[in-house]
Each structure stands twice: as structure tokens, then as C-alpha cells.
Amino acid sequence: MRISRLAKWIGASALAALLVFPVAVPKLSSIAQAAEYVTIGTGGITGVYYPVGGAISRLVNKGSKQHGIRATVESTGASVFNVNAIRSGDLSMGIVQTDTQYYAYTGTGPEQFVKAGPDTKMRALFSLYAEAFTVMARDDANISTFKDLAGKRVNIGDPGSGNRSTMELLMKEYGWTEDTFKIATDLKPAEMAGALCDDKIDAYIYVVGHPNASFKEASSTCESHIVPVEGPEVDAFVEKHNFFPRATVPGGLYKGTDNNVPTFGPKASLLTSSDLPDEVAYQVVKAVFENLDEFKKLHPVLENITPEEMLQGNTAPFHPGAVRYFKEVGLMQ
Ligand code: GLU
């Protein structure tokens, strides 16, 4: 758990005050105790993690006067960055794809997780909504199936993202490497739509909830469409990994994509570490679950979430503070 610099500063000031003005101490130290800062790692500002992280922090901060916890959000490279930063203690919590969660917790899959070994301190708070592995392509690039990406200029994802990690897994299923593409780029999510419409790339991959600002930007700036991700390789892939249910990008959300587009995808989940104090985990979970109606209105991807489903899809064990809340309200035995 990261105690913010401010809290440390307040602690140091309280100590200084103790030395210089002993009478001032009780007041200052009670301020220090009241300030428990948590930072939520999200994703790029054109994605969905960022506004959803903002929604979580808003609900937490509504109750700050009672529980003393203040939450802030940070825009990051997303899933892979977030699990690594939680592990190193730089973030108190973060939004992470459930496939990334599985590989980091078990120390399997992508090479870096195998190298790092199982992340035994990883703890789940709850899962959120279904994400879709989405391919957005320029209309003039002749891409109508996932296989058509071979030989094209494709943004396969920033190395800190879950996009990249899921894309690399799927590429293995197809027997592809980076050399399969004319160019494989690693732009950050906020740069992807611009690069597509400036004709620097033919397509980009985004594992993300819909609607989101990146696809709105691409589809309203240049002639582009979402490409279906299906076929025997995808069937085999989905069969092999039970954290990738089928998913659909609804038609009509973006110009150029009028019909539903089939694909697959993980869930987004909120993770932390066993180092987070139980009381903090409890209060964060409670703030979201008790204000679920308000939470659901804060972003369209949250519209259909249910408390029961928010306990599904995680590999890492729940944080004891989350378990305390779930038992209290009967969501867990
Ligand atoms: N799923 C993406 C990732 O982890 C981030 C999506 C988002 O920011 O909404 O890389």
C-alpha cells in the first residue's frame, strides 16, 4: 500500500511540530491518520479503464469524511503496467484484464511473467465488465478478416498493455511473429486513432470496452471499420483459455460499423496486493457495491453489471477486506 508523499509529509510535519510546539501535536497527528491515499492505475485516456477508474475514485471519495480514504487515478500503459506497478508497490490498485491477471498470478504465459514467477501477493477486489478484442482498420487497407492483417502495418500494442499481451497469445495460435506484418508498431492507446487516420498504420488492436473515445475518434475522423475476429483458430483459442468468452462489438456505435461484430475478450478486473490494509480494501469495495446504481450510470460499459457477476472471472484470491464485505451482504458464504 502506497502512503502518499503528502501523508508522509504530514507525518514529518507532525514530528517537527512535536519537537517545536508540543501542544499542536494531537490536531496534526489526527489529520495524518485520516489521510489514507490510494492510487488506482488505469489505462490510456481514450480507453475505458481511465473513466471507470475515475468513477470508482469518485464513489470512494464521496465517503472520505467517514472512512478517511482518498482515491486518485493515474493514466498508465494499462494491464501489464498495472500488475507490475502493484507488485512493486508503486500503485495501490489497478484495473487489469483477467487474462493478464491469470498469467501474472500463476507466473505463466508471457515470458516476463514466467521470468518474474507467480505474483503470490496479488489479490482481487472485484471484476467489472466484458472487454472485446477489437481490430479497427482503414477501409482502404483491404482488411475484412483477422487473417488479412498479415502483411499489413499493424499496431500490435504498447508493451505495457494487455492488448499486446493478448495479441501475442493469439498470434501464436496463428503461427505468426512480428515479421508476419509489414510493420508492427507499439503505439500507446491515445496515439492509435491518430496514426490510423494519418495513414501511418492500416489497423490497430484494442482490448477494450465499448463505446470508447479511441474508436469514436477513428471512426469519425477517417473511413474505417471494425473487423470480425472469428474462424477455426479463434475457436481453438477460446476453447483453450476459459477466461476468453465470446464477445460482440455492438453495431451502430461507430460510423462505418453498422452490424454487430463477433470477437472474444477477457473481463476487466480491479486488483490490489495483500499489502493493502483490510479496512481500505473493505471500504473501497463497499463504496462501489453500495452505490452500484450510481456507478452503473457513470459509463455505458457498466450499465448491465450485477453484484453476482462482479465476483466472477478472477484467478487471484479475493482480498480479505473484500471477502469481509461480500460475507456481510450475503454475496459470499
Ligand atoms: N484492456 C486494455 C489493456 O489492458 C486497456 C483498455 C482500457 O484502457 O480501457 O491494455
CATH architecture of 30-129+267-328: 3-Layer(aba) Sandwich (3.40)
For residues 132 and 137, give the distance between their C-alpha atoms in angstroms, rounded to a whole number.
15
259-271 per-residue burial string, b: 16 or more CB within 10 A, e: under 16: eebebbbbbbbbb
Grid cell for residue 21: 510546539
CA nearest neighbour of 154 among 227, 93, 210: 227
* Domain spans of the chain, in order of start: 30-129+267-328, 132-264
Which of 14, 8, 55, 58 has the alpha carbon at shortest distance from 36? 8
Average pLDDT over residues 182-205: 97
The domains spanning 30-129+267-328 and 132-264 adopt the same CATH topology: yes
Q: Tell me, in angstroms, the distance from the centre of ligand 1 to residue 152's CA.
A: 23
Binding pocket residue ranges, ligand 1, CB within 6 Å: 43-44, 47-49, 78-79, 97, 131, 161-163, 207-209
By most ligand atoms within 8 Å of CB, the mutation choice from 52, 86, 97, 270 for ligand 1 is 97
For residue 152, give Cα distances in angstroms to 15, 102, 141, 145, 307: 61, 31, 8, 12, 42
pLDDT given for residue 242 in this prediction? 85
Of the ranges 9-23, 100-114, 155-169, 262-276, which one carries the lowest mean pLDDT score?
Answer: 9-23
One-letter amino acid of 155: N
Which residues have CB under 8 Å from 183's CB, separation 6+?
Answer: 153, 154, 201
- The CA distance from 282 to 102, in Å, is 23
209-238 pLDDT per residue, tens: 999 999 999 999 999 999 999 999 999 999
For 132-264, CATH number? 3.40.190.10
CA distance from start to end of the chain:
28
Q: Render pLDDT for 259-275 as a digit per residue (tens, 0 to 9).
A: 999 999 999 999 999 99
**Is the pLDDT assigned to residue 20 strictly greater than 80?**
no
Helix, strand, coil shares, percent, the chain, to 5? 45, 20, 35
Check pLDDT > 80 for residue 28. Answer: no
